[in-house]
Structure 1
Amino acid sequence: MINEQIRDKEVRVIGEEGQQLGIMSSRDAMKLAKDAGLDLVKIAPTAKPPVCKIVDYGKFRYEQARREKEAKKKQKVIEVKELRLSPNIDTNDLNTKVNNARKFLEKGDKVKVTLRFRGREMAHMGASKHILDDFAENLKDIASVEKPPKLEGKSMSLVLAKNIK
């Protein structure tokens, strides 16, 4: 809230250089801001009494946007990459998928390994769980199982995440 939007009876006022001006009525604080040619901005509305600062509102907004942008730069977005397997996958194909998963994990992403069943493969779901177990075993040096193999409809999936050192 800025200037006339501030309707509180009393506010704690901070000056343009950061000095405490004390607790006063919002009308007096507004007058101080107008005399300085600046705006009165409420920066802590939940405090008792609310804290207002005398600043140039345009500059204040710009600085705030810059700080948010900097904070956003520093955070890493973790993606979940999905690898699909079938119950009759060959060893070499499985190794290729393991290598792809290793690359994803080294980049910092999580890997969801899905074993999809079609047609008659549905009758042997329990016997195919070992494929997911082998997959996790091959990657145990850099990854740990975040979600164990679970049957969801026509597929069984497991989530792997990079080990934190």
Structure 2
Amino acid sequence: MATKDLRINKQIRAREVFVIDADGNQKGIMSVYDAVAFADEQGLDLVEVSPNARPPVCKILDYGKYRYEQEKRMREAKKNQNIIKMKEIRMQPKIEKHDLETKSKFIGDFLDEGNKVKVSIRFRGRELAHTELGKVVLDKILAQLTENGVGYNLDRGAVMEGRMMSMIVSPSKSNAGSTKKKN
């Protein structure tokens, strides 16, 4: 629950609440008025930390300090999370050998950075009658990734989507964890 959703002092709607004091000691079930008065005596706030419990659980604490700690914890968690981006490489089934090697090098670089890669082959005109050529190109890409020592997982094999055949490749766990973000 976000700190903005918490009810404090007179915003608490329940008649009775289970109170925990500033030291973490359980004070038991009290009426809301008594609990707010008890918190005021100590110069602190009554904060409803678990509104879905029966009766709701309220803690006596300094609300400003509590909110600051929660926001600090959220910023820290956000900083440490790993965001995976989806990159896309497009090509045609009539791709030349050198171009295929270049594209597979780019795919390897994206995987090393920790990104997922969608490899798409676009069919135009009569090429649509020969979709097996697209499958061959995708297999060559996977073979070159293996040759170059790039660790990958095949999330989704070759699938036709309209006039495009695509597959999704993600970095292997050992590969994604060892790389650092590049700017």
Q: TM-score if structure 1 supplies the norm length? A: 0.93
Contact 2:19/2:57 (8 A) holds in 1:
yes
Contact 1:136/1:144 (8 A) holds in 2:
no
Residue equivalent to 2:156: 147
Residue equivalent to 1:13: 19
**1:66 and 2:111 correspond:** no
Q: Write the distance in 2 (CA, Å) between the matches of 1:162 and 1:81.
A: 12
**Aligned ranges for residues 4-153 of structure 1 at < 5 Å?**
4-140=10-146, 141=149, 142-153=151-162
Structure 1 gaps of 5+ residues are none
Contact 1:136/1:160 (8 A) holds in 2:
no
**Residue deviations 1:36-83, cap 9 Å, x none?**
222111001122221101122222111111111111111101111101
Report how far residue 123 of structure 1 moved. 2.4
Q: TM-score if structure 2 supplies the norm length? A: 0.84
Contact 2:134/2:165 (8 A) holds in 1:
no
Comparing 119-128 with 62-71, greater Cα deviation is found at 119-128
**1:164 and 2:170 correspond:** no
Percent of residue pairs identical: 47
Report how far residue 18 of structure 1 moved. 2.2
Q: RMSD in angstroms over aligned alpha carbons?
A: 1.4
The residue matched to 2:22 in structure 1 has which SS? Answer: coil
Q: Given residue 56 of structure 1, which amino acid in structure 2 is its aligned partner? A: D
Report how far residue 121 of structure 1 moved. 2.0
Q: Write the distance in 2 (CA, Å) between the matches of 1:163 and 1:6.
A: 49
Structure 2 gaps of 5+ residues are 1-6, 175-183
Q: Given residue 107 of structure 1, which amino acid in structure 2 is its aligned partner? A: E
The residue matched to 1:99 in structure 2 has which SS? Answer: helix
Contact 1:39/1:56 (8 A) holds in 2:
yes
The residue matched to 2:59 in structure 1 has which SS? Answer: strand
Contact 1:40/1:54 (8 A) holds in 2:
yes
Contact 1:12/1:23 (8 A) holds in 2:
yes
The residue matched to 1:139 in structure 2 has which SS? Answer: helix
**Residue deviations 1:125-161, cap 9 Å, x none?**
2232100111122224411211000000110000011
